[in-house]
Amino acid sequence: MMKEIEKLRSGEYYRMDDAEIAEIQTRAIVLCQQFNSLPVTAGEERDKLLRRLFSSAGQNLSVKPGFLCDLGVNIQVGDGFLTNYNVTILDMAPVRIGNNVWLGPNVGLYAVAHPMEAAGRERRLGIAKPITIGDNVWIGGNSVVLMGVTIGRNAVIGAGSVVTRDIPDNAVAAGNPAKVIRYVDNDNV
Protein backbone atom coordinates (compact mmCIF):
# COMPACT_ATOMS: atom_id res chain seq x y z
CA MET A 1 0.00 0.00 0.00
CA MET A 2 1.35 3.43 -0.96
CA LYS A 3 2.21 5.91 1.76
CA GLU A 4 0.47 9.28 1.53
CA ILE A 5 3.70 11.07 0.60
CA GLU A 6 4.16 8.59 -2.28
CA LYS A 7 0.62 9.33 -3.48
CA LEU A 8 1.38 13.04 -3.28
CA ARG A 9 4.59 12.67 -5.29
CA SER A 10 2.89 10.54 -7.96
CA GLY A 11 0.10 13.08 -8.55
CA GLU A 12 -2.64 11.01 -6.91
CA TYR A 13 -5.11 12.13 -4.26
CA TYR A 14 -3.47 12.05 -0.85
CA ARG A 15 -4.59 12.74 2.72
CA MET A 16 -3.60 16.26 3.68
CA ASP A 17 -3.53 15.39 7.39
CA ASP A 18 -0.77 12.78 7.00
CA ALA A 19 1.84 13.01 9.80
CA GLU A 20 4.87 12.65 7.50
CA ILE A 21 3.68 15.46 5.23
CA ALA A 22 2.78 17.59 8.26
CA GLU A 23 6.34 17.22 9.58
CA ILE A 24 7.79 18.62 6.34
CA GLN A 25 5.22 21.44 6.37
CA THR A 26 6.10 22.32 9.96
CA ARG A 27 9.77 22.61 9.01
CA ALA A 28 8.85 24.98 6.16
CA ILE A 29 6.58 27.06 8.41
CA VAL A 30 9.37 27.47 10.97
CA LEU A 31 11.93 28.45 8.31
CA CYS A 32 9.48 30.95 6.76
CA GLN A 33 8.80 32.46 10.20
CA GLN A 34 12.53 32.79 10.83
CA PHE A 35 13.08 34.32 7.38
CA ASN A 36 10.24 36.82 7.76
CA SER A 37 11.35 37.87 11.25
CA LEU A 38 14.84 38.86 10.10
CA PRO A 39 15.47 42.50 9.19
CA VAL A 40 15.90 43.07 5.46
CA THR A 41 19.41 44.32 6.27
CA ALA A 42 20.39 40.76 7.31
CA GLY A 43 20.92 39.75 3.69
CA GLU A 44 23.38 36.92 4.26
CA GLU A 45 21.26 35.27 6.98
CA ARG A 46 18.10 35.61 4.86
CA ASP A 47 19.89 34.07 1.88
CA LYS A 48 21.08 31.11 3.99
CA LEU A 49 17.52 30.45 5.21
CA LEU A 50 16.16 30.46 1.65
CA ARG A 51 18.85 27.99 0.62
CA ARG A 52 17.85 25.71 3.51
CA LEU A 53 14.19 26.05 2.54
CA PHE A 54 14.39 25.59 -1.27
CA SER A 55 15.61 22.43 -2.99
CA SER A 56 17.84 24.61 -5.20
CA ALA A 57 18.46 28.32 -5.62
CA GLY A 58 20.54 30.41 -8.01
CA GLN A 59 22.45 33.59 -7.26
CA ASN A 60 21.19 37.11 -6.47
CA LEU A 61 17.90 36.22 -4.79
CA SER A 62 15.66 39.04 -3.60
CA VAL A 63 12.69 37.85 -1.54
CA LYS A 64 10.65 40.43 0.38
CA PRO A 65 9.04 39.80 3.78
CA GLY A 66 5.77 37.91 3.96
CA PHE A 67 7.05 34.93 1.95
CA LEU A 68 5.23 31.65 2.67
CA CYS A 69 5.38 28.13 1.26
CA ASP A 70 4.00 24.66 1.99
CA LEU A 71 7.08 22.43 1.93
CA GLY A 72 9.96 24.42 0.45
CA VAL A 73 11.68 21.22 -0.66
CA ASN A 74 9.78 21.30 -3.96
CA ILE A 75 10.85 24.85 -4.90
CA GLN A 76 13.65 25.42 -7.42
CA VAL A 77 14.55 29.00 -8.35
CA GLY A 78 17.13 30.29 -10.81
CA ASP A 79 19.43 33.30 -10.74
CA GLY A 80 17.89 36.72 -10.13
CA PHE A 81 14.67 35.41 -8.54
CA LEU A 82 12.77 38.40 -7.16
CA THR A 83 9.56 38.58 -5.15
CA ASN A 84 7.67 41.53 -3.83
CA TYR A 85 5.78 41.36 -0.51
CA ASN A 86 3.50 38.51 0.58
CA VAL A 87 4.25 35.90 -2.07
CA THR A 88 2.86 32.41 -1.37
CA ILE A 89 4.10 29.23 -3.07
CA LEU A 90 2.03 26.14 -2.25
CA ASP A 91 4.64 23.64 -3.40
CA MET A 92 3.00 20.30 -2.69
CA ALA A 93 4.30 19.42 -6.19
CA PRO A 94 7.51 20.74 -7.78
CA VAL A 95 7.54 24.46 -8.56
CA ARG A 96 10.36 25.17 -11.01
CA ILE A 97 11.17 28.84 -11.54
CA GLY A 98 13.72 29.96 -14.16
CA ASN A 99 16.26 32.77 -14.16
CA ASN A 100 15.25 36.41 -13.71
CA VAL A 101 11.67 35.67 -12.72
CA TRP A 102 9.85 38.48 -10.93
CA LEU A 103 6.74 37.93 -8.78
CA GLY A 104 4.67 40.98 -7.82
CA PRO A 105 3.08 41.55 -4.41
CA ASN A 106 0.54 38.99 -3.22
CA VAL A 107 1.27 36.53 -6.03
CA GLY A 108 0.22 32.94 -5.35
CA LEU A 109 1.66 29.85 -7.04
CA TYR A 110 -0.68 27.01 -6.07
CA ALA A 111 0.59 23.56 -7.08
CA VAL A 112 -2.18 21.89 -5.07
CA ALA A 113 -5.97 21.66 -5.14
CA HIS A 114 -8.83 19.77 -3.55
CA PRO A 115 -11.63 17.59 -4.95
CA MET A 116 -14.73 19.30 -6.30
CA GLU A 117 -16.83 16.68 -4.51
CA ALA A 118 -17.61 17.50 -0.89
CA ALA A 119 -16.98 13.89 0.18
CA GLY A 120 -13.35 14.18 -0.94
CA ARG A 121 -12.88 17.40 1.00
CA GLU A 122 -14.48 15.80 4.07
CA ARG A 123 -11.81 13.09 3.81
CA ARG A 124 -9.14 15.87 3.73
CA LEU A 125 -7.91 14.91 0.26
CA GLY A 126 -5.58 17.01 -1.86
CA ILE A 127 -3.96 16.58 -5.26
CA ALA A 128 -0.82 18.26 -6.55
CA LYS A 129 0.60 18.97 -10.03
CA PRO A 130 3.83 20.84 -10.90
CA ILE A 131 4.14 24.48 -11.94
CA THR A 132 6.93 25.51 -14.31
CA ILE A 133 7.89 29.13 -14.99
CA GLY A 134 10.44 29.88 -17.72
CA ASP A 135 13.25 32.43 -17.71
CA ASN A 136 12.55 36.18 -17.69
CA VAL A 137 8.90 35.94 -16.65
CA TRP A 138 7.13 38.77 -14.82
CA ILE A 139 3.94 37.92 -12.91
CA GLY A 140 2.01 41.03 -11.84
CA GLY A 141 0.67 41.62 -8.35
CA ASN A 142 -2.32 39.73 -6.97
CA SER A 143 -2.06 37.07 -9.68
CA VAL A 144 -2.60 33.36 -9.05
CA VAL A 145 -1.03 30.48 -11.01
CA LEU A 146 -2.82 27.14 -10.57
CA MET A 147 -1.40 23.63 -10.51
CA GLY A 148 -0.27 21.96 -13.71
CA VAL A 149 0.52 25.26 -15.48
CA THR A 150 3.64 26.05 -17.51
CA ILE A 151 4.45 29.69 -18.25
CA GLY A 152 6.85 30.10 -21.16
CA ARG A 153 9.99 32.20 -21.13
CA ASN A 154 9.75 35.99 -21.46
CA ALA A 155 6.01 35.93 -20.68
CA VAL A 156 4.23 38.69 -18.76
CA ILE A 157 1.16 37.99 -16.63
CA GLY A 158 -0.99 41.07 -15.97
CA ALA A 159 -1.84 42.07 -12.41
CA GLY A 160 -4.83 40.31 -10.88
CA SER A 161 -4.79 37.40 -13.33
CA VAL A 162 -5.74 33.78 -12.64
CA VAL A 163 -3.59 31.48 -14.78
CA THR A 164 -5.39 28.17 -15.32
CA ARG A 165 -3.72 27.04 -18.57
CA ASP A 166 -0.26 27.09 -20.12
CA ILE A 167 1.03 30.42 -21.44
CA PRO A 168 3.45 30.34 -24.41
CA ASP A 169 6.84 32.03 -24.71
CA ASN A 170 6.83 35.83 -25.23
CA ALA A 171 3.11 36.13 -24.46
CA VAL A 172 1.37 38.84 -22.47
CA ALA A 173 -1.63 37.28 -20.72
CA ALA A 174 -4.20 38.76 -18.37
CA GLY A 175 -7.66 38.20 -16.95
CA ASN A 176 -9.65 35.57 -15.10
CA PRO A 177 -9.00 33.13 -16.57
CA ALA A 178 -5.80 34.56 -18.08
CA LYS A 179 -5.80 34.74 -21.87
CA VAL A 180 -3.05 35.78 -24.25
CA ILE A 181 -3.71 39.37 -25.32
CA ARG A 182 -0.56 39.95 -27.36
CA TYR A 183 3.04 38.91 -27.86
CA VAL A 184 6.24 40.79 -27.05
CA ASP A 185 9.05 41.10 -29.60
CA ASN A 186 11.98 40.47 -27.28
CA ASP A 187 14.52 40.92 -30.09
CA ASN A 188 13.86 44.68 -30.28
CA VAL A 189 14.44 45.87 -26.73
Which of helix, strand or coil describes residue 67?
Answer: coil
74 is catalytic: no
In the set 51, 114, 123, 165, the catalytic residue is 114
Cα–Cα distance, 96 to 78 (Å, whole number): 8
Cα–Cα distance, 18 to 49 (Å, whole number): 25
Q: Per DSSP, which regions of 58-158 are E strands?
A: 62-63, 68-69, 75-77, 82-83, 88-90, 95-97, 102-103, 108-110, 112-113, 125-128, 131-133, 138-139, 144-146, 150-151, 156-157
Question: Which residues are catalytically annotated?
Answer: 114
